[in-house]
Chain A
């Protein structure tokens, strides 16, 4: 004897193997319990309902005690089931309730960061659950001016999206723009880049509008620096908007050290950034186009190290740079147990065999090693990737124009980065103005 609502729900979820309908006898009448086995812990939930039943006088009181989402329409019931709730319907179908059940634990608990390794600081990292993530921020930033707007975006699935900012700090104009852009999302947001594209056209730009961080401390620091933090459900990152150049160089964790030490760390990152961009190019320029700028003994040394090498400097460099980028990619792809093998093989081939076979010069191996180390010194994996990409145009210019090419390429890179803006905030700005602040 199933009523209309139960039948409707049954047909809706007829394709779902993990959908259950259980009948339960409560106060001499039957009620139907519905939900997904994979999301709801049924035995515990049943026990809970029985406990509540003991303290309730009638079936109606039971429904009231269990939930405050009672007697809703069928669509909301379907939505409730999809969200992982337990739905209870009375025998006659006149009463129903969406109950927060005991959930199957699908989430890993708060763990250590996987993509960053902070030194001398809190080691909590964001997890997959959006509520846990927002909670982690709330716990660390206890103020009433922390605002939280949540959205559900997407076409196929409604994905949860949260926007956090500090009222009175983040410029209102910026908040309004971001809000409009988030509300205007039509398609599904599956990856961070799909969200990134909503903030304006940067399809062919390596620089994202969003800076992804795993650490609550950096997210809170970004909020305090008048930025907006976005959370996407099932994405263990806080997405800081806008992404600025300085996020790549300055981390709040540096400031756990005395000022002079943090200055040193940041200075090294700047060196790393510049070295990644120009070192390979400088090698090509100095070896093949402008060898005369060196003093004689140095020029002879460079020439000697390239003695008997059949490849031109440009080919040799580009081959090595591509090979090293391949190795970096391969290490990421492989399981952790096989990774070291690649490192070893790569190290031997690149370091020794190629030099002994006189395919590349000793000097180039040193340069390439320096570049790999330097490119890893900046904060954030995506930043490291994009500066690795930007070195190629400079390398090509250097092979054509020598030192002139290196410096035009470098200046062009600066100009390109200076031309980027996200919602009228330049990528290269030092800080975002507080709301109401003039100049």
Chain B
């Protein structure tokens, strides 16, 4: 039971980490009105994929994704999972760099970004090296540390709300479904990691549904807070709409000048944990496929990730690369669950693994 709560906490933390930075910008680009339709559609799509993924995993009790692909054949594991791991490097490095940019603009405008990058990299690699147990346990505490700040941000922003900024609330027909950016959006919902920790704990879809509801509500909040405050026309011109929204809040009885520092603090917690999960994923995948110590893989690949994060010159390129990377991620999110499902269905003749025994 405890481990399921921990997994739920990691799930929420990863989604929030991806959700806070580029996600709102993408949604504002996709539609001018009724943004909730986009979020709900993306969420439902994600839910369907999770369901397929869970079904696929249930064909192979007590095995994780790498084991299953290796069962299919070593070639399958190499073809499917090596590009996935390589994309994870890109995702990790760009994610940490994007967060660094935001964190710098909040706390330390005069500090060079490499200093903060190295600090964040060091801690997340350390966590990844310590293994899954450490990640899951610290996730609970980081969750307890982060969630009050998230709630504080949401509630403190209410004072600046203007309800007229989000009307009209309906948009038919949903044209955004055909936009390529909607596909990118899917990359922000990272549930793939669930399949790599199932060998120890069996996941229950109902509990994941509860976590999914929380994530969707938080995504709605992230997108709608800047909208309520600024309105669609202003929001599309802003670089970090959520940050600007936090900066616009002034609570007179509060001793702090900027609400944005709480946002910054919570981003630090989120990015460290998210990246440690990504590095750990790289380590476990590569270790099982190529049989080299997973700590070596983590150190080597995190070094490459650090180099990538250091050489990206500016923010617009960064966001472009990040979108590509998340697009590739979305592709894997469709391919891996379907491959598992089909292989499981085919190899078990439609009978679930545990029923067969």
Binding site for B on A (CB under 8 A): 289-290, 292-296, 298-299, 401-404, 407-408, 410-412, 414-415, 418-419, 421, 426, 428-430, 439
B269-A411 in contact (CB<8A): yes
Question: Scoring B residues 252 to 282 as 1 if CB is less than 8 Å from chain A, else 0, what string do you get?
Answer: 0011111001001100110010000000000
Q: Is the pair A401, B137 in contact by a Cβ cutoff of 8 Å?
A: no
- Inside 8 A of A426's CB, which chain B residues have their CB? 133, 137
Which of chain B's residues have a CB closer than 8 A to the CB of A439? 1
A412 touches B123 (CB 8 A): yes
Assuming A403-B264, A408-B123, A408-B268, is B134 touching A415 (CB within 8 A)?
Answer: yes
Would you give 26 A-B contacts (Cβ < 8 Å), ordered by A?
A290-B261, A294-B255, A294-B256, A294-B257, A295-B255, A295-B256, A295-B257, A401-B107, A401-B111, A401-B116, A404-B116, A404-B264, A407-B269, A411-B138, A411-B145, A411-B269, A412-B123, A412-B126, A415-B123, A415-B138, A418-B130, A418-B137, A418-B141, A421-B133, A428-B137, A439-B1
Contact at A408–B272, with CB atoms within 8 Å?
yes
Contacts of B2 in A (CB 8 A): 430
With the chains together, A190 CA to B142 CA distance in Å? Answer: 39
Known contacts A293-B256, A426-B137, A428-B137, then 7 further A-B pairs from the complex at CB < 8 Å, ordered by chain A residue: A290-B107, A294-B255, A402-B108, A404-B108, A404-B119, A415-B126, A419-B130
> Looking across the interface, which residue of chain A has its beta carbon closest to that of B269?
A411
Number of interface residues of B (CB under 8 A): 33
Does residue B127 face the partner (Cβ distance < 8 Å to A)? Answer: yes
In the assembled complex, B227 has its CB within 8 A of some CB on chain A: no
B96 in the interface, Cβ–Cβ < 8 Å? no
B115 — which chain A residues lie within 8 A by C-beta?
Answer: 401
Residues in B with CB closer than 8 Å to A407 are 265, 268-269
- Cα A294 to Cα B270 in complex, Å, equals 24
Q: Which residues of A contact B134 (CB under 8 A)?
A: 415, 418-419
Give the contacts of B269-327 with A (CB-CB under 8 A). 269, 272
Residue of B nearest to A414 (CB): B141
CA distance A418 to B142 in the complex (A): 11
Q: If A407-B265, A426-B137 touch, does A401 touch B255 (CB 8 Å cutoff)?
A: no
Chain A min CB distance to B129 (Å): 9
Whether the Cβ atoms of A293 and B261 lie closer than 8 Å is yes
Q: Which B residues are CB-close (under 8 A) to A428?
A: 137, 141
**Bound CA span A418–B269, Å:** 15
Q: Which residues of B contact A419 (CB under 8 A)?
A: 127, 130-131, 133-134, 138
| A289 to B261 CA separation, bound complex (whole angstroms) | 13
Q: What 5 A-B pairs have minimum CB-CB distances, sorted nearest first? A: A418-B137, A418-B138, A419-B130, A419-B134, A415-B138
Contact between chains at A411 and B142 (CB < 8 Å): yes
B103 in the interface (beta carbon within 8 A): yes
Q: Please judge, given known A-B contacts A412-B123, A415-B130, whether A403 and B137 are in contact too, CB under 8 Å.
A: no
- Residues of B contacting A289 with CB < 8 Å? 108
Query: Contact: A403 with B111, CB < 8 Å?
Result: no
Contacting A at CB under 8 A, from B88-119, are 103, 107-108, 111, 115-116, 119
| B120 interface contact, C-beta 8 A | yes
Given A289-B108, A292-B257, A403-B265, A411 and B272 contact (CB-CB distance below 8 Å)? yes
Most buried by B among A298, A418, A421: A418
**Given A415-B134, A418-B141, A421-B133, do A408 and B120 touch, yes or no (CB 8 Å)?**
yes
Chain A residues with Cβ below 8 Å from B269 are 407, 411
**Distance of A397 from chain B, by nearest CB (Å):** 8
Complexed CA–CA distance, A189 and B238 (Å): 66
Closest Cβ neighbor of B133 among chain A residues: A426
Q: Which residues of A contact B103 (CB under 8 A)?
A: 404
Chain A residues, CB < 8 A from B111: 401
Known contacts A414-B138, A415-B127, A418-B134; is-contact A404 B268 (Cβ 8 Å)? yes
* Minimum Cβ distance to chain B for residue A290 (Å): 6
Q: Which of chain A's residues have a CB closer than 8 A to the CB of B138?
A: 411, 414-415, 418-419
Residues of the A chain whose Cβ atoms lie less than 8 Å from the Cβ of B107: 290, 401-404
Cα A296 to Cα B108 in complex, Å, equals: 19
Chain A residue nearest in CB terms to B260? A293
Tell me the nearest residue of chain A to B251, going by C-beta: A295
